[in-house]
Amino acid sequence: MIGKLDGMDLRILALLQENAEHSIGEIAEAIHLSQNACWRRIRQLEEGGYILKRVALLDAVKLGAGMTVFVMVRAGEHSQEWLERFAEAVRKIPEIVEFYRMTGEVDYLIKIRVADIAGYDRVYKQLIRSAPLTDVSGAFAMEELKHTTAIPLPPH
């Protein structure tokens, strides 16, 4: 799919990833394009599924979710029914902000944002009630050294 994008599209995406509040005029000026042409390109990027949505990034610490916990889960079984049950339970827990099915020793990796150990314990108890699990282990992030929502783009 990347072949459909040209350098202008990639520059637009880079600017929007940096700050989705950029106006059409600001983006058009930065990439030396007319506002109408820029607006059309952004619409095409949205319609093509390259831009999924525009969001505000919030301060987790100020909002009481400053502790990050990575949880490794080994499944109790490996069936579609089990996965659907577990995935549905995980989706209903708002403190779980990322959820991945993995290869290797661990079946699932979960990222949780909570205020403290007690918050993690509540989420942990919800997880172990959700479906049969072989092992659940958590690792608490001591310090966030890099965090970005930006997708790496090819050179433009």
| CATH code for position 113 | 3.30.70.920
* pTM: predicted TM-score of the whole model, two decimal places: 0.88
72 and 17 co-located in one domain: no
**DSSP conformation letters of the chain:** -GGG--HHHHHHHHHHHH-TT--HHHHHHHHT--HHHHHHHHHHHHHTTS---------TTTTT--EEEEEEEEES---HHHHHHHHHHHHT-TTEEEEEE-SSS-SEEEEEEESSHHHHHHHHHHHHHHS-EEEEEEEE-S-------PPP----
Question: In which residue are the tokens 């979710």 written?
Answer: 65
Q: Return the closest-CA partner of residue 110 out of 132, 79, 136, 77.
A: 136
Domain presence at residue 29: yes
Domain count, the chain: 2
Q: Which residues pair with 94 in a beta bridge?
A: none
79 with 38, same domain?
A: no
Is 155 contained in some domain?
A: no
Q: Are residues 113 and 75 in the same domain?
A: yes
Assigned domain for 59 exists: no
Residues 43 and 74 in one domain: no
Angstrom distance (rounded) from CA 15 to CA 34: 16
The reply to whether 120 and 71 lie within a common domain is yes
Same domain, 43 and 71: no
In this predicted model, what pLDDT tens digit does every residue of 34-89 receive, in sequence order? 999 999 999 999 999 999 999 999 999 999 999 999 999 999 899 999 999 999 99
Instruction: Specify whether 90 is located in the same domain as 135.
Output: yes
- Domain check: are 74 and 23 in the same one? no
Q: Are residues 74 and 18 in the same domain?
A: no
pLDDT digits (tens, 9 = 90+) for 103-132: 999 999 999 999 999 999 999 999 999 999
Query: pLDDT class for 155, splitting at 50, 70, 90?
Result: confident
Rounded to 10 degrees, the C-alpha dihedral 111/112/113/114 comes to -160
Q: Tell me whether residue 129 is in a domain.
A: yes
Residues 7 and 72 in one domain: no
Residue 123: domain span: 67-140
Whether residue 136 is found in the same domain as residue 73: yes
CA distance 139 to 73: 12
71 & 134 share domain: yes
Average pLDDT over residues 22-28: 97
Domain contains 54:
no
Q: Kindly state whether residue 22 falls inside one of the protein's structural domains.
A: yes
